[in-house]
A and B are shown apart, each in its own frame.
Chain A
Amino acid sequence: MDIINLIFNTAVQTLLSIGKIALILIPVLMVIELAKFYKIIERFTGKMKGLLSFLTLPEEAAFPLLAGIFFGIVLGSALIIDYAREGILRRRDLLLIGIFLSISHSVVEDTFIFAVFGANPAVLIVTRTILAIIITRTAAWLFDQFLKYKAAATTDKDETVETVRK
């Protein structure tokens, strides 16, 4: 009987905390859908220039990046795949967006859910955003160094091929 009681009590407790989540989640998702409907994100893309130039990303990266940050990695990635197909972004830029989003995505929904359970939402958002920026910038630097090295290596090879021919 103890076990049945235990399971019953846990289930009730958990349902109550999901009820608390519902009070926040329903309005938040309604606002997110409204934001999508009125294309709020498009209005912010112009204001991202500072961050984008720091991350060495082109302006076209603003929309998939913002969509991923606010609406989640699935939507962000879907847009990225779309951009990749249309050849709007380079492979390097796609990879960097992927790195940024894998650390910081769907910050609204995730943060709300954690906050319901007692986490500090400001600490959550600030830590994830700062880490995503630092790591993406570092990856950009590493990647560009690698590309330079590769470019240098291939030109070296071409030269040796030519000297062999001579």
Chain B
Amino acid sequence: MPAFTEPLIKGFRKSISLLWLLVKIIVPVSCVVALLDFYGIVDRIAIIFTPAMSLFGLPGEAAISLLLGFLVNIYAAMGAITAITLTPQQITILAVIIGICHELPVETIICRYTGLSIPVSIALRLTTAIAAGIMLNLIYTLVLGG
């Protein structure tokens, strides 16, 4: 058996366990969000967050995806995205925000080992993510004309 089969098998196994993790997170999250939508709760949350979300050029519903991304992980955020309709630009902006700031409860603890304290880490990532979202929205609307 050639030497490179071992990492290939390892990669395959890893992807299967990651996919199983995705199924366990995304499927329940998207079902719960669909239910919340059915009972009109998504609309209520959306109304509250519409002004804040408009800074990023996103609809109020996107707040659910952002919150899930910040508190749980990227996959939960993606689960919430499947339940709402967004343009490719909006998905990109949302992805940049969540890409910078996600899974805070877990990752900030990991980052602490580098000497970055938890409050500093949270503040750094939140402000960077918000700034990036506003900036990208401005670039999209001003430079590319929406």
Query: Which residues of A are at the interface with B, using a C-beta cutoff of 8 A?
Result: 2-3, 6-7, 10-11, 13-15, 17-18, 21-22, 25-26, 28-34, 36-38, 73-74, 77, 80-81, 84, 91, 94-95, 97-99, 101-104, 110-111, 113-114, 117-120, 123-124, 127-128, 131, 135
Contacts and interface: CB of A to CB of B under 8 A. Distances in A.
B137 to A, nearest CB: 12
6 contacts: A2-B38, A17-B82, A30-B12, A95-B115, A102-B124, A114-B78
Contacts of B131: 131
B66 to A, nearest CB: 13
Contacts of A17: 26, 82
A109 to B, nearest CB: 8
B116 A99 contact: yes
Contacts of A26: 11-12, 15-16, 19
Given A22-B15, A25-B19, A98-B111, A13 B82 contact: yes
Interface string B83-100: 100101101101110111
A66 B89 CA distance: 29
Contact of A77 (B26, B111, B128): B111
Given A25-B15, A31-B11, A98-B111, 16 more contacts: A2-B38, A6-B34, A7-B31, A7-B35, A10-B82, A18-B22, A18-B26, A21-B19, A22-B15, A30-B11, A33-B10, A81-B113, A95-B116, A98-B115, A103-B128, A124-B95
Contacts of A81: 113
Interface stretch (B1-9, B47-55, B56-64): B1-9
B30 A13 contact: yes
